[in-house]
């Protein structure tokens, strides 16, 4: 019989799993910090981290709230344009431009969410898609966006007016810090009492209503938070690449972030990051070799992964660890 000072086999197994996950996270962080010295192109890794933030923001809505949005490109692209326009036209510092982009995408998300949460399922998804297309055409007609040519020549500026971001290496570490902060912030949201309510809504919305929770308010807040974080990704992308184009706000961008999330694992913390890494790496590796066929290849890989790993790659790995833990008990 186990005593208070003698851990049970169950506790030891859980402890080992937790330590393994922590070691993995620390290893990936060390890899990210050393990436510029390992021959990895900083701009490529920064782009990957931007889309990882985008996928994590989408996963907050789909994976932990159970709401499928087909319109997240509206938040990503609108923030990209707002940030680029303010920095280029009014010479604002990067952090102010990024915050303005997040505010703009959050407000758009609040408006779209207030309309969409009145419906559920496919009707919710179709409303988000329709309103995102409205945002797309509005940006197409707005003069400051540059129309089909996009917004070009956005300077990186200096962080807080002091630290120049013209160097790829300096900007890289700023982006890594923002990514780590965002990842930890989303993790804290999900594990908070607010996040537990979101999970309950995902699993059984009628029960949440019967317990007295204002479900619509929780869903609207989750939608707005997801939109603002998607805007953060779009703002960073403009700062890194120096331009914003209509492809950032097109519905295909919404499809890409859904692909990243499903590929990595819906409802997992690291799954969207892994999925973003796969998609962006394949696009970068194959774009100059197969041209537009890269989308077909990614589509085939996605279908194969969904058939083989129904919970996503990371989701299946977690399920495997859980099964091993249960057998060891």
Q: Which residues pair with 158 in a beta bridge?
A: 164
Q: Is 282 helix (H, G, I), strand (E, B) or coil?
A: helix
**Which tokens sit at 122?**
């496919």
In a domain, 225, yes or no: yes
Task: Determine the pLDDT at residue 159.
Answer: 87
Q: Which range marks the domain in which residue 124 is found?
A: 41-249
In a domain, 4, yes or no: no
Task: Determine the pLDDT at residue 141.
Answer: 87
CA 198 from centroid of its chain's CA atoms: 18
Task: Determine the pLDDT at residue 1.
Answer: 43
Cβ-based neighbours of 184, under 8 Å, separated by 6 or more: none
Residue 98 CA to residue 86 CA, distance in Å, equals 9
Task: Determine the pLDDT at residue 8.
Answer: 59
Residue 321 CA to residue 106 CA, distance in Å, equals 37
In a domain, 316, yes or no: no
Q: Scanning the structure block, which residue is given the tokens 């990186």? A: 156
Q: Looking at 35-91, list the stretches that DSSP marks H as alpha helix, in order from N- to C-terminal side.
A: 42-65, 72-90
Sign of CA dihedral 4, 8, 10, 11: positive
**Half-sphere exposure of 237 toward its Cβ, with a 13 Å CA cutoff?**
30
In a domain, 289, yes or no: no
In a domain, 80, yes or no: yes
Cβ-based neighbours of 276, under 8 Å, separated by 6 or more: 48, 51, 52, 54, 55, 260, 264
Q: At 159, phi and psi to the nearest 5?
A: -65, 125
Task: Determine the pLDDT at residue 12.
Answer: 58
In a domain, 161, yes or no: yes
E strand or H helix at 164, and its extent? strand 163-164
In a domain, 71, yes or no: yes
* Residue 309, Ramachandran bin (φ over 0: left; ψ between -120 and 50: alpha; else beta): beta
Segments of the chain scoring below 50 in pLDDT: 1-6
What is the tally of structural domains in the chain? 1
């Amino acid at each position: 019989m186990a005593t208070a000072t003698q851990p049970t086999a169950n506790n030891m197994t859980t402890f080992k799993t937790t330590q393994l996950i922590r070691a993995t996270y620390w290893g990936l962080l060390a890899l990210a910090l050393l990436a510029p010295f390992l021959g990895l192109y900083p701009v490529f890794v920064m782009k990957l981290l931007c889309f990882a933030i985008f996928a994590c923001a989408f996963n907050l809505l789909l994976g932990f709230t159970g709401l499928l949005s087909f319109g997240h490109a509206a938040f990503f692209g609108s923030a990209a344009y707002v940030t680029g326009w303010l920095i280029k036209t009014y010479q604002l510092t990067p952090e102010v431009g990024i915050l303005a982009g997040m505010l703009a995408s959050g407000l758009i998300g609040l408006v779209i969410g207030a309309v969409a949460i009145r419906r559920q399922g496919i009707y919710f998804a179709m409303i988000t898609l329709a309103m995102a297309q409205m945002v797309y055409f509005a940006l197409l007609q707005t003069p400051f966006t540059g129309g089909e040519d996009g917004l070009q020549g956005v300077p990186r500026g200096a962080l807080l007016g002091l630290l120049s971001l013209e160097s790829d290496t300096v900007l890289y570490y700023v982006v890594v810090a923002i990514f780590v902060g965002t990842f930890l912030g989303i993790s804290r949201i999900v594990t908070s009492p607010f996040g537990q309510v979101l999970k309950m809504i995902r699993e059984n919305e009628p029960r949440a209503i019967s317990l007295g929770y204002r479900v619509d308010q929780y869903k609207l807040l989750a939608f707005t938070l997801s939109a603002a974080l998607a805007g953060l990704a779009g703002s960073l992308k403009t700062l890194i690449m120096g331009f914003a184009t209509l492809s950032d706000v097109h519905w295909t961008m919404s499809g890409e972030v859904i692909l990243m999330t499903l590929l990595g694992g819906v409802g997992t913390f690291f799954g969207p990051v892994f999925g973003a890494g796969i998609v962006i790496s394949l696009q970068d590796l194959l774009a100059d070799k197969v041209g537009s066929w890269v989308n077909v290849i990614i589509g085939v890989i996605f279908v194969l992964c969904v058939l083989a790993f129904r919970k996503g790659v990371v989701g299946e790995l977690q399920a495997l660890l859980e099964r091993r833990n249960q057998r060891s008990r």
